[in-house]
Structure 1
Amino acid sequence: MNSHFLDGHYRILKVLKDGEKGKTYLVEDTNLPGSELIVKQLCPPNKNSQTLTILSRLFTSKAATLEKLGQENDKIQKLVAYFEENEEFYIVQEFIPGNSLSDEIIQGQPLSEDQVISFLSEILEILVIVHSYGVIHRDIKPANIIRRESDKKLVLVNFVTFNEAITNTVDNLEYMPIEQVNGNLKYNSNIYALGIVAIAALLGLTAKEISNLQSQKNKLTGEIVWRPKNLKVNRKLEKIINKMVRFDYRKRYQYATEVLDDLKKLTNVEDQQKQHDKRLLLVLTGIAGFIVLGVGAWILQLPKPVSDAQKTLYQQGVNKYESGNYEGAVKDFNQAIELDPQNALAYNKRGDAYYRLGDYEQAQADSSQAILLNPQDANAYFDRGFAFYGLSKYKEAIADYTQAIKLNSENAYAYYGRGLARSQVKDNKGAIGDFSKAIALKPEYTEAYLQRGILRRRLKQRLAAIQDFDAIIKINPSDAKAYYQRGLTQSLNKQQYAALKDYTDAININPKYIEAFLNRGDIYSDLGNKVEATEDYNTILEIDPKFIAAYIHRGIHRFSFGNYKGAIEDYTEALKLDTNNVAAYNNRGNAYLELGNTKAANQDYSRAIAINANNALAYYNRGIIRTKQKNKQGAIADFKKAAKLFQQQGENDSYQDAQKEIAILQNKSAPAPTTRPKSGKR
C-alpha cells in the first residue's frame, strides 16, 4: 500500500476510511518530504460522460471557494489541492494533529457550562466567516471539530460540500435539522447542528444517544425535550440552546452573529454585576465617610449597611441558580437572608429556586416575604402567581396575576397566566378575555391562541376555535399541535375528512405524534378503513409499547369487525400495564360475551364495578349477562343502577336503553331481549 501514489506524488501512508462513497487517506507529498496531508476520494454516482462533465465543473468551482476560505482563517481546514483521476474526484487537505470534540464528549461525563459556551463561541466565530463566503458546512458534528494540538484552538474540518455535490446523499441524521433532510438547506441548519452538539456536551451523550434524543420531542410542540429534570443548567444558556434547535428554521436563530451576541450577553452578566457592586460599594463608602466626618470616629465600629459577605453570598446564589444548582442556590440565599433579613431580592430568588425544585409551598412563602418587603415588585406577584397555580390555588393565583398586571400592564405573560387560572375556575369569559389581551400585546403569541382555541371548543364555539388554530398555522405552518387541535375540532363538527387531513399534517410535521395517530386511527375505524386504522394503532405501539390507550382503541377496532380474540388480547395487554383499567375490563367482558364465555364476561364486569362503583356501562353489561342467565331480579337491579348513573352523567340515549331493558324484564309476556353489550367511548 505504501508504494501506491495518487496524482503521481501523494504516497499513501494509511487508509483512514474506506466506505461506499470513497476513501480517505493519510498521505505524504513526496515533493515535501516528511509532510502529512489528508486525501479524500469522492466517487460519482455514475460514470455517464455528461454527468461527469457537469460534476467536474461543479467540483472545481466549489473547491476554489473552499481554497480561498481556508486561506482566510486558520481555524478552517485548509484545502491544499484538488484533482481528478480515473473519473474520480480527489481533494487534498491539511492534516491537523489533535483530538476531535468526540474525544472530549465522554459518555456520562458532561462538560461544564463554561466549556460548552467556549466551544460554541469558537465555532460560531468560524461560521460567521464560512457563511460570508456563501458556504454551508452540511456535516457539523463532534468528529468534525478538532482541537489543534499546537495551540488548543478548535478547527472546523471536513466540509462535505463536495460529497453532496458528487453523491447527492447525506449522513449523520442525528445532528441534521428537518429542512436539511428534505433538501432545503439553510445557513441556520448549521446553528441547529451546533446546538445538538452543545446538548450532547452538556448531557455527556454519544452519537447513538443523540439519535435517541431526537425521538424525545414534546408531543404538542414537536420541539426536542433534552433537559432532564435533575440537570442543572443556566436558564439563559438553556434558552439560547433551545432557540438554536427549534424545529422550524424560521423560529431559530437566523445568523451565527445572533447566537454570539446572546452568548456574549450571558458571559457579560457576571462582569456587569461585579462592576455594579463596585459602584455601589463606592457610594456606600462615600456615605459612610461623610457620616464619620460629621458624627465621630466611633461610628466606624457599626456594621456596614450592605456587607461584603452578604453581597458575595447573594451573588453566589444567583450564579448557582442560573447554572441550575437550585439546592446550592437555596443554601446561599439562606445565609444571605440571615445576614440581611430585609433583602427582598434574596427572598424572591430563593422562592424561584424553591419553585424550580417543586416546593411550591416554600416558593409561595418566599414570594410573600418579598412582597412584604417591596410591595411594588411586579415580578414577586408574578412569581407567587406561579406558585399558587402549582398548588392548585387558582383564585389566589388570579389575584396575584391581577396585581402584577396593575404594576405592569404590558406583560402579556401575566395575562396568559391569569387566563390559565381563570380557565381552571370556569371563568371562561374572563379567561378568553385574558388570552385575547395577551394576543393583543404579543400578536404572535401562539400559546395564547392555542389555549383560547381549546377553551372555545370546550364552550362549543367551534368556528371561533378553528379560527384560532388557523391563526397559529399562519404564524407557524410547522406547528403540529395547531393541526392536531384543529383536527379534534373538525371531528366534533363531523368533518371527518377534514380532521383526517389535519391529523396527517400533524404527523408529517412530528412523526412521533402519538395522539394524532390515535385520533386518525379512530376516524379510519369509524369510516370502515380497517387496514389504515390498524396501521395507525400499530405505529403508536412501535413508538411507545406501553401506551395503554392504543391497546384499548385497537381492541375496540378489532371488536368492531368481529375479531373478538384479537380484542381480548389487546385488553389483556392493557391490563398488564394497568391492573385497574375499568375500560379494559368492561370491553374485554364484551368480547368474552360475544364468544359465549359468560363466566369470564361476568367476572370482568364485576371487577370493573369493584374498581369504580359509578361505572354505568359495567352495570348495564352485567345486566345483559344476568338476563341470559335468567337472573331476572339481578338483571333488573343492574339495569336500574345503570339507568340512574346514565341519567346523572347526561347519557340520555343509554338511559333510555336501560329503561327499555327494565320494561321488557318487568313485562312477563314480552320476548326476552337480544341486547348487545355497550363499549366505552374511545
Structure 2
Amino acid sequence: MNSHLWDGRYRILKVLNIREETTTYLVEDASLAASQYVVKQLRPPSNNPQTLKILRDLFTSKAINLEKLGQEHDQIQKLVAYFEENEKFYLVQEFIPGHPLTEEILVGKPLSEDQVISILSEILELLVFMHSRGVTHRDIKPGNIIRRESDNKLVLVDFAAVKEAINPIIVNSGYLPEEQIQGNTKYNSDIYALGIVAIAAIMGLKVDEIARLQSQRNRLTREIVWRNKNIKVSGNLVKIINKMVRFDYRKRYQYATEVLEDLKQLKNPTQDNKQQKQQKLWLIITGIAGCTLLGGAAWFLQLQKPLSNTQTIYQKGVSNYQTGKFQKAVEDLTQAIELDPQNALAYNRRGDAYYQLGDYEKAQADSSQAILLNPQDDNAYYDRGFSFYELGKYKEAIRDYTEAIKLNLKNPYTYYGRGLAYSKLKDNKRAIGDFSKAIALKPEYSEPYLQRGIIRRRLKLNKVAIQDFSTAIKINPNDAKAYYHRGLMQVANKDKNAAIKDYTNAININPKYIEAYLSRADVYSDIGNQIEATEDYNKVLQLNPQLTAGYIHRGLHRFSFGDYQGAVEDYTQAITLDAKDAAAYNNRGNAYLEMGNKKAASQDYSQAIAINSNYALAYYNRGITRAKLGNKKGAIADFQKAAKLFRQTGEKDSYKDAQKEIASLQSQSVYVNSTRLKSKERKDN
C-alpha cells in the first residue's frame, strides 16, 4: 500500500487502469472509515508554466460542470473532489459497486429486443438530462455504463470532457462517430455511440470486434451494414438504431427525446401523439437552451422561445429525407429556403435529397449556394464534388474535393472521393496516392484498399493488387467486390481453382452479383466444366435478360463445346439487343463457318468490319473465309490488314499467324485450316 496521501487524504489501494494519458486508481479516504473512491490521474502533455495555467483553468471549469451534474442526477457518477499536485491533475469520483455493461454483452449471446430497448431508454433519459445542461459524455461505451448493485439501475461514468481538456488526444474506441474523431463533437455524437452499443448488444460483439463493424460501410452512403438474417429483432428497432448511427450527424437523430419517442411507439403505438409532440417540443427547447451555454437570463429567454415556422418546416424536410421521402423533403426544404434564403444548411439538405432522386444538376446547384453562404463548409464542397462526379465532371469534382481537403485535412472520405475521380481520368498515380492517404488516415476503412487494388490490377501489379484485395476482405469479410476482383487476379495468375473460390464467396455474399457469375462461368468453361458453366451463364441471363455480354459469353462457351447452332442463337440475340456490337457479328461468323455456311460467315465478318474498321480479328477471319471461297486476292488483302493491326497492338502471335497465311496464299497454297478462326477474347468484367 502506498504511504503517500494525495491531497493529504487519499491513499492508493490498487491500480485499476493505465493508459498513456491517464492512470485510474482505487483509493480510500484516510480520514473516513470504509470509504472508497476512484481517482483519475491526468498527465498534461507539457509542464510549461503558461500551458499549465491554461490547462488549470480548463480543468477547473470542466470539473465544476461535472460536479454539478452528478449532484443533480442519481444515475450519473458523482465527482467528489478535484485537485492539482506535482503538475498533475486529479479527479476523485464516486466508486459504484456493480458491474459494467461489458459483462452483459457476451460474445455470441445477443440480448433480447426488450433488453436492448430497456438499456437504450434508460441511457437516453440520462442524455436528455445531460444535453439540456450543455454537457456531452463523449465516451459512451459498455465499459462506461455500470449496472449498480444496490438497485440494478444503469449509471454513466467516466465523462471524457475533463480528460480532453487536459489532453485533447481522442482515442477511437470504435464507438465514436466521425465528426467527434475530427474534433467536432455534437450532442448527437452521444446518440451515435449509444447506437453502436445497441448493435453490439444485439449481435453479441466483443470490444475488439467493434472496430471491424465500423469498416462495414456502404461505399456510396457510408452507413454501417450490420443487420443479417440471424438477427432476431424487429425491423422498427433496426430502423431506429440505423438512424442513431447515421454517418452524417445532420441526418442522425438530433435530440435524445426523438429517439425516446420512437422507442415508446414500439411499446405503445397508440399513445396520444398530441401529448407526445407537446412533451417533445418542451424537451427540444430545453435542449436548445442547454446547447447555448448562456447565462441565467439568456437561458431563461431561450427556454421561452418557441421554434420558428422556418425551423419547423426545415425539421419536417429533414424527417422526410431520413425516412426516404426525398420528393417531400425537397418540397419542405424549398419552403424553408423561401422563408429564410440565408439558410445554408437547408440548401445542403435539399441538395442531398436531389442527389438521392438522381437530379445531380440540382444537387450541384444547391451545394454551390450552400458554399456561397458558408465558404468554410468543407462538407458542402464534399457534397458538390460527388454531384460533379455523378455528372461525369471529374475535373470539377477534383477541384471541390481539393478545396474540402484544404478546409479539413483529416477527412479520409474526401481523399477517397478525389481518388475515384482521378481514377476516372486514368490518372493512376494520383488516384493511388489519394487512396493511400485515405488508408493512412483510417487504416480500418476497406474501400480505399479495394479501389487501389483495382487500379493496381489494371496496371498488372498483381502481387500488391492481391494484397489490397486481401486486406479489404480481412477488414470487411462481407465485401463481395473485393472477392470478385481478387478472383480476377487469381485468373491472371493462372490459379483458376482459387478464382472459382473467390467468385463463389462473392456470389454467396451477393446472390445477384452478375459479374461474378459471368466470370465464374468463364473459368468453368475454360477448365471443361460444361454443366457448371452453362448453369452460371443461364443464371446471368435470368438476372438480366437484356445483357448483351451474357449472350456473347454463353455463345463462346457453346462454340467451344461444338454447339454451333446454340452459339448462333446466342450471338443473334446479342445483335438484336445491340446492332452495333462488332464482336457478336465476328463470333457468329465463326459459328456459321463451322456449320459450313461460308456466305453467311463472310457477311457477318464484313458487318463487324463496317462497325469497327480496325477490328483485326474480323479481317483475319474474313481472310480465312475468302480463301475457302477461292477469293485469293481478297483473302491476302484481309490478312495484310489484320497483320498491320496486330502489329500495332503488339499481338505478336496473331501477327505471325497472319503472315503465315499470306505466305501460304502467295505460294499458291490455298489450303487454310479452319481451326485457326479467331473469336473475341474474353475480358475482365
Give the TM-score normalised by structure 1.
0.58
1:466 corresponds in structure 2 to 361
CA distance in structure 2 between the partners assigned to 1:541 and 1:127 by the alignment: 31
Q: Does 1:177 align with 2:187?
A: no
Matches within 5 A, 1:516-531: 519-520=420-421, 522-523=423-424, 525=426
Q: Does 1:207 align with 2:102?
A: no
CA distance in structure 2 between the partners assigned to 1:91 and 1:482 by the alignment: 46
Aligned partners of 2:432 and 2:455 also within 8 Å: no
SS of the residue corresponding to residue 453 of structure 1 reads coil
1:335 corresponds in structure 2 to none
2:474 corresponds in structure 1 to none
Per-residue displacement from partner, 1:4-52 (whole Å, max 9, x unpaired)?
4222221111111122212111111011021111111000001111111
Distance of aligned partners of 1:553 and 1:452 in 2 relative to their CA distance in 1, 3 Å threshold: same
Distance of aligned partners of 1:617 and 1:568 in 2 relative to their CA distance in 1, 3 Å threshold: farther
Aligned partners of 2:22 and 2:41 also within 8 Å: yes
1:571 corresponds in structure 2 to 492
Aligned partners of 2:80 and 2:94 also within 8 Å: yes
Per-residue displacement from partner, 1:49-104 (whole Å, max 9, x unpaired)?
11111111111121122111111111111111111111111111110001111111
What is the letter of the counterpart of residue 453 of structure 1?
Answer: G
CA distance in structure 2 between the partners assigned to 1:619 and 1:40 by the alignment: 74
What is the letter of the counterpart of residue 361 of structure 2?
Answer: I
What is the letter of the counterpart of residue 449 of structure 1?
Answer: Y
2:80 corresponds in structure 1 to 80
1:558 to 449, 454, 460: 460
Per-residue displacement from partner, 1:221-254 (whole Å, max 9, x unpaired)?
1112222234232333222222221111112222
Aligned partners of 1:138 and 1:190 also within 8 Å: yes
CA distance in structure 2 between the partners assigned to 1:497 and 1:510 by the alignment: 20
Aligned partners of 1:221 and 1:479 also within 8 Å: no
Per the TM alignment, residue 660 of structure 1 is displaced from its structure 2 partner at its CA by 5.6
Distance of aligned partners of 1:606 and 1:51 in 2 relative to their CA distance in 1, 3 Å threshold: same
Per the TM alignment, residue 155 of structure 1 is displaced from its structure 2 partner at its CA by 0.9
2:677 corresponds in structure 1 to none
SS of the residue corresponding to residue 214 of structure 1 reads helix
CA distance in structure 1 between the partners assigned to 2:9 and 2:195 by the alignment: 41
2:224 corresponds in structure 1 to 224
What is the letter of the counterpart of residue 62 of structure 2?
Answer: K
Q: Does 1:498 align with 2:376?
A: no
SS of the residue corresponding to residue 59 of structure 2 reads helix
Distance of aligned partners of 1:200 and 1:86 in 2 relative to their CA distance in 1, 3 Å threshold: same
Per-residue displacement from partner, 1:501-557 (whole Å, max 9, x unpaired)?
578879999958999688446335357769649969999999669999986754433
Aligned partners of 2:37 and 2:93 also within 8 Å: yes
Q: Does 1:121 align with 2:116?
A: no
CA distance in structure 1 between the partners assigned to 2:47 and 2:415 by the alignment: 45
Matches within 5 A, 1:466-485: 466-468=361-363, 470-471=365-366, 477=379, 483-484=385-386
Distance of aligned partners of 1:109 and 1:439 in 2 relative to their CA distance in 1, 3 Å threshold: same
CA distance in structure 2 between the partners assigned to 1:542 and 1:636 by the alignment: 60
Q: Does 1:668 align with 2:636?
A: yes
Distance of aligned partners of 1:38 and 1:538 in 2 relative to their CA distance in 1, 3 Å threshold: closer
Aligned partners of 1:105 and 1:204 also within 8 Å: yes
Distance of aligned partners of 1:620 and 1:63 in 2 relative to their CA distance in 1, 3 Å threshold: same
Per the TM alignment, residue 488 of structure 1 is displaced from its structure 2 partner at its CA by 3.8
1:43 corresponds in structure 2 to 43
Aligned partners of 2:265 and 2:271 also within 8 Å: no
Distance of aligned partners of 1:535 and 1:641 in 2 relative to their CA distance in 1, 3 Å threshold: farther
Aligned partners of 1:552 and 1:584 also within 8 Å: no
Distance of aligned partners of 1:642 and 1:256 in 2 relative to their CA distance in 1, 3 Å threshold: farther
Root-mean-square deviation (CA, aligned residues, Å) is 5.2
1:31 corresponds in structure 2 to 31
Per the TM alignment, residue 178 of structure 1 is displaced from its structure 2 partner at its CA by 0.9
CA distance in structure 2 between the partners assigned to 1:528 and 1:2 by the alignment: 59
Per the TM alignment, residue 450 of structure 1 is displaced from its structure 2 partner at its CA by 3.8
Unaligned 5+ segments in structure 2 are 274-319, 335-348, 371-376, 466-485, 504-515, 527-554, 562-566, 575-580, 589-595, 625-633, 652-680
Matches within 5 A, 1:295-310: none
Per-residue displacement from partner, 1:300-325 (whole Å, max 9, x unpaired)?
xxxxxxxxxxxxxxxxxxxxxxxxxx
CA distance in structure 1 between the partners assigned to 2:146 and 2:197 by the alignment: 13
Aligned partners of 1:43 and 1:89 also within 8 Å: yes
Per-residue displacement from partner, 1:568-587 (whole Å, max 9, x unpaired)?
7673478443497569979x
Per the TM alignment, residue 663 of structure 1 is displaced from its structure 2 partner at its CA by 7.5
CA distance in structure 1 between the partners assigned to 2:236 and 2:490 by the alignment: 49
Matches within 5 A, 1:83-482: 83-269=83-269, 439-440=330-331, 449-450=354-355, 452-453=357-358, 465-468=360-363, 470-471=365-366, 477=379
Aligned partners of 1:29 and 1:35 also within 8 Å: yes
What is the letter of the counterpart of residue 112 of structure 2?
Answer: S
Per-residue displacement from partner, 1:324-383 (whole Å, max 9, x unpaired)?
xxxxxxxxxxxxxxxxxxxxxxxxxxxxxxxxxxxxxxxxxxxxxxxxxxxxxxxxxxxx
What is the letter of the counterpart of residue 261 of structure 1?
Answer: E
1:6 corresponds in structure 2 to 6
SS of the residue corresponding to residue 165 of structure 1 reads helix
Per-residue displacement from partner, 1:588-629 (whole Å, max 9, x unpaired)?
x9xxxxxxxxxxxxxxx9779749864978789999xxxxxx
SS of the residue corresponding to residue 107 of structure 1 reads coil
Distance of aligned partners of 1:232 and 1:485 in 2 relative to their CA distance in 1, 3 Å threshold: farther
What is the letter of the counterpart of residue 223 of structure 2?
Answer: E
Per the TM alignment, residue 2 of structure 1 is displaced from its structure 2 partner at its CA by 3.9
Distance of aligned partners of 1:145 and 1:269 in 2 relative to their CA distance in 1, 3 Å threshold: same
Aligned positions, number: 482
Aligned partners of 2:25 and 2:38 also within 8 Å: yes
Per-residue displacement from partner, 1:147-204 (whole Å, max 9, x unpaired)?
1111111111111212111111112431101110010111111111111111212222
SS of the residue corresponding to residue 175 of structure 1 reads coil
What is the letter of the counterpart of residue 424 of structure 2?
Answer: I
CA distance in structure 2 between the partners assigned to 1:149 and 1:3 by the alignment: 31
CA distance in structure 2 between the partners assigned to 1:551 and 1:145 by the alignment: 41
SS of the residue corresponding to residue 215 of structure 2 reads coil
SS of the residue corresponding to residue 644 of structure 2 reads coil
CA distance in structure 2 between the partners assigned to 1:37 and 1:99 by the alignment: 16
What is the letter of the counterpart of residue 84 of structure 1?
Answer: E
The worse-fitting range, judged by mean Cα deviation, of 209-218 and 174-183 is 209-218
Distance of aligned partners of 1:609 and 1:36 in 2 relative to their CA distance in 1, 3 Å threshold: farther
Distance of aligned partners of 1:474 and 1:103 in 2 relative to their CA distance in 1, 3 Å threshold: farther
2:56 corresponds in structure 1 to 56
Aligned partners of 2:70 and 2:79 also within 8 Å: yes
Give the TM-score normalised by structure 2.
0.58
Distance of aligned partners of 1:660 and 1:513 in 2 relative to their CA distance in 1, 3 Å threshold: farther
Distance of aligned partners of 1:610 and 1:267 in 2 relative to their CA distance in 1, 3 Å threshold: same
Aligned partners of 1:473 and 1:483 also within 8 Å: no
Per the TM alignment, residue 116 of structure 1 is displaced from its structure 2 partner at its CA by 1.8
Distance of aligned partners of 1:584 and 1:480 in 2 relative to their CA distance in 1, 3 Å threshold: farther
1:69 corresponds in structure 2 to 69
What is the letter of the counterpart of residue 77 of structure 2?
Answer: Q
Aligned partners of 1:128 and 1:257 also within 8 Å: yes
Per the TM alignment, residue 467 of structure 1 is displaced from its structure 2 partner at its CA by 3.0
Distance of aligned partners of 1:251 and 1:645 in 2 relative to their CA distance in 1, 3 Å threshold: same
Distance of aligned partners of 1:640 and 1:109 in 2 relative to their CA distance in 1, 3 Å threshold: farther
SS of the residue corresponding to residue 58 of structure 1 reads helix
Aligned partners of 2:422 and 2:431 also within 8 Å: no
